[in-house]
Amino acid sequence: MQIIRHSEQTLKTALISKNPVLVSQYEKLDAGEQRLMNEAFQPASNLFGPITLHSPSDWITSHPEAPQDFEQFFSDPYRKTPSPNKRSIYIQSIGSLGNTRIISEEYIKWLTGYCKAYFYGLRVKLLEPVPVSATRCSFRVNENTHNLQIHAGDILKFLKKKKPEDAFCVVGITMIDLYPRDSWNFVFGQASLTDGVGIFSFARYGSDFYSMRYEGKVKKLKKTSSSDYSIFDNYYIPEITSVLLLRSCKTLTHEIGHIFGLRHCQWLACLMQGSNHLEEADRRPLNLCPICLRKLQCAIGFSTVERYKALVRWIDDESSDTPGATPEHSCEDNGNLPKPVEAFKEWKEWIIKCLAVLQK
């Protein structure tokens, strides 16, 4: 295992900058927020630790890229920021996300509620779910894993056409695996920062995807024409477990972070670290490091205390109800399912420690 450890001065500059305007901006933050963010360059901090690399296939080793400090983020001329009339994140589900309508609807509401807390201060709205056929996307059966896949680029074009006037971004979510081009095996997600759209798949987050007993394998693709989507009738959907929900929340917030202009983090262990494989994605924490937290706060303008409190409420609230975030639908068989948050308990304890620092 390799540990990437930066000097205190490097981390301090990455967070605060040497630009007098940005230093002054930092000094105007609430005293508690400064105290928490200063943990970035405290060697003995038990809140924010260094990045650890476990294999040559990990992201930083295999995808070298320039790090982005706060000043570079702030000065990026291509960065998109929510404006007063574009402060909504829209979520578009494609195909069913659960084995029943109720599970599918509850799962979408859990993800919506999480995004509302994570991107505190922005509205998060749901678009009416659509079947795969509505997107007119290309699809295939993967030659290696023999599961159904839909074309990520085609979905992005569909989302761009559907983007509402008040949208900061539209993100598509699906339980069907994605591929970006014919030569690629798969992709967890893909986004267009210019268009403010993204598509993310949770298909590989089920506990059985990489096992011999995986039930989503398709023997042969039988389609009479490119417009025959009947193969997606009753396609395999993994069980919604606490681990699958946690992985989904991680992917969704990481990718929306990119739409805000946050590049892959190379400073500290952070949600915005890149990941090349599921094992590396699982090691990545749910939280942002102080440098990325300052970037997101700069983009949205939230109170860090209120944001953390909202995240604790989401974990504690077993009901999935997120008022004003659900499309109109019938109430038949309606009953809230308990939200599977066991996998989030450790993170809740970490947030409570942060709140203690913020409110000292």
- Answer with the residue of higher pLDDT: 141 or 72: 72
Q: How confident is the model at residue 57 (pLDDT cuts 50, 70, 90)?
A: confident
Q: CB under 8 Å to 7, separation ≥6 — which residues?
A: none
pTM: 0.91
Q: What is the per-residue pLDDT across 233-282, written as a single tens digit (0 to 9) for each? A: 888 888 899 999 999 999 999 999 999 999 999 999 999 998 878 888 88
> What pLDDT does 326 receive?
39
Above 60 in pLDDT, residue 321? no
Above 60 in pLDDT, residue 333? no
Above 80 in pLDDT, residue 336? no
Q: Could you write out the DSSP letters of every residue in 59-107?
A: HHHHS------HHHHHH-TT----BTTB-EEEEEEES-SSSSHHHHHHH
Above 80 in pLDDT, residue 224? no
HSE-CB of 230 using CA atoms within 13 angstroms: 6
> What pLDDT does 223 receive?
66
3-state secondary structure of 278: helix
> What pLDDT does 335 receive?
57
> What pLDDT does 325 receive?
38
Q: Could you write out the DSSP letters of every residue in 142-206?
A: -TTT-BEEEEHHHHHHHHHHH--TTEEEEEEEESSEEESSTT-S-BSEEEETTTTEEEEE-GGGS
Above 70 in pLDDT, residue 58? yes
CA distance 73 to 260: 10
Q: Which of 66-70, 125-129, 183-187 has the lowest mean pLDDT?
A: 183-187
User: Dihedrals φ, ψ of 102, to 5°?
Assistant: -65, -45
Q: What is the per-residue pLDDT across 110-140, written as a single tens digit (0 to 9) for each? A: 999 999 999 999 999 999 999 999 999 999 9
CA distance 200 to 153: 11
Average pLDDT of span 90-100: 93
Q: What is the per-residue pLDDT across 271-316, written as a single tens digit (0 to 9) for each? A: 999 887 888 888 999 999 999 999 999 999 999 999 999 999 999 9
CA distance 174 to 160: 16
Average pLDDT of span 44-52: 93
Read off the tokens for 193.
């920062």
Q: CB under 8 Å to 273, separation ≥6 — which residues?
A: 51, 59, 60, 264, 265, 266, 284
> What pLDDT does 212 receive?
73
Task: Classify burial at 18, counting beta carbons within 10 Å of its beta carbon; exposed 0-12, middle 13-18, buried 19 or more.
Answer: exposed
Active-site residue numbers? 255
HSE-CB of 238 using CA atoms within 13 angstroms: 26
Set out the domains of the chain in order of their start, with CATH numbers: 88-256 (3.40.390)
Q: Could you write out the DSSP letters of every residue in 282-309?
A: HHS-SSPPHHHHHHHHHHH---HHHHHH
Average pLDDT of span 183-194: 88
3-state secondary structure of 15: helix
Average pLDDT of span 333-358: 89
Average pLDDT of span 178-199: 91
How many CB atoms sit inside 10 A of residue 99's CB? Answer: 15
